[in-house]
């Protein structure tokens, strides 16, 4: 079993989605045919983009096309789970394209694993994070009236092959969340690691920490 880690840098959302889909289809075909394949973990950032999941509600997008243009942002309806979220510079996006059966995972366990990865990364920076019942993702002060989301998670899975993944706010401009009801919530806020720590985070450093933690959670040994 092999996992290949790829960093796409800053990449247009639609282009990344297309490239993800090619890898997803390739892995699905190889699994179906019983031929050799590679699991992949993609890291990237996106220009300002709002994405709406297949079960999302369009009314959670609070601005129109003209306002989007003024923000130099785009809006994309996608095939992942979840509602609306924002992607942009300073947000670490991770797209694992994996055969979950290689790791003994079902979909629910996989989503909890992604949450645990982010929780542990936050802990390494001295930020206590956790889960909220019936709300996917990772939260700060989740059991209080000041609950704020630091990482959104939305995946697509077919025959235990995954794509899409997590969007972890690191140095993200949180003002862009003001134009949506993030993940459909109207009574909970958002945060970023830099907002919690009051200083910017080195993106290359946190990419390595996140990948190491993801490998640890997958119980995958890499060089």
Q: Show which residues are catalytic.
A: 183
Strand partners, 50: 75, 86
Q: Quote the CA–CA distance of 25 and 37 in Å, as a whole number.
A: 11
Instruction: Give the distance from CA 30 to its chain's centroid.
Output: 25
Copy the structure tokens of residue 74: 């785009």
Residues 84 and 53: beta-carbon distance below 8 Å = yes
**Distance (Å, rounded) from C-alpha 115 to C-alpha 219?**
16
Question: What are the beta bridge partners of residue 95?
Answer: 42
Beta bridge partners of 87: 49
């Amino acid at each position: 079993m092999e996992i290949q880690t790829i960093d796409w840098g800053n990449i247009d959302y639609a282009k990344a989605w297309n490239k993800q889909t090619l890898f997803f289809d390739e892995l699905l075909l190889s699994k179906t045919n019983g031929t050799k394949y590679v699991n992949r973990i993609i890291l990237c950032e996106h220009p300002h983009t709002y994405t709406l999941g297949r079960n999302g509600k369009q009314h959670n997008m609070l601005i129109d096309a003209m306002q989007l243009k003024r923000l130099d942002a785009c809006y994309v309806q996608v095939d992942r789970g979840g509602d609306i979220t924002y992607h942009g510079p300073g947000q670490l996006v991770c797209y694992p394209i994996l055969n979950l059966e290689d790791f003994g995972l079902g979909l629910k366990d996989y989503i909890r694993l992604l949450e645990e990865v982010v929780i542990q990364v936050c802990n390494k920076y001295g930020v206590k994070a956790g889960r909220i019942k019936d709300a996917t993702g990772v939260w700060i002060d989740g059991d209080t009236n000041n609950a704020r989301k630091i990482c959104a998670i939305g995946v697509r899975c077919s025959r235990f092959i995954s794509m899409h993944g997590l969007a972890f706010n690191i140095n993200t401009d949180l003002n862009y969340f003001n134009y949506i009801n993030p993940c459909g919530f109207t009574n909970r806020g958002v945060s970023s690691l830099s907002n919690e720590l009051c200083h910017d985070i080195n993106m290359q450093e946190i990419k390595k920490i996140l990948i190491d933690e993801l490998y640890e959670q997958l119980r995958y040994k890499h060089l």
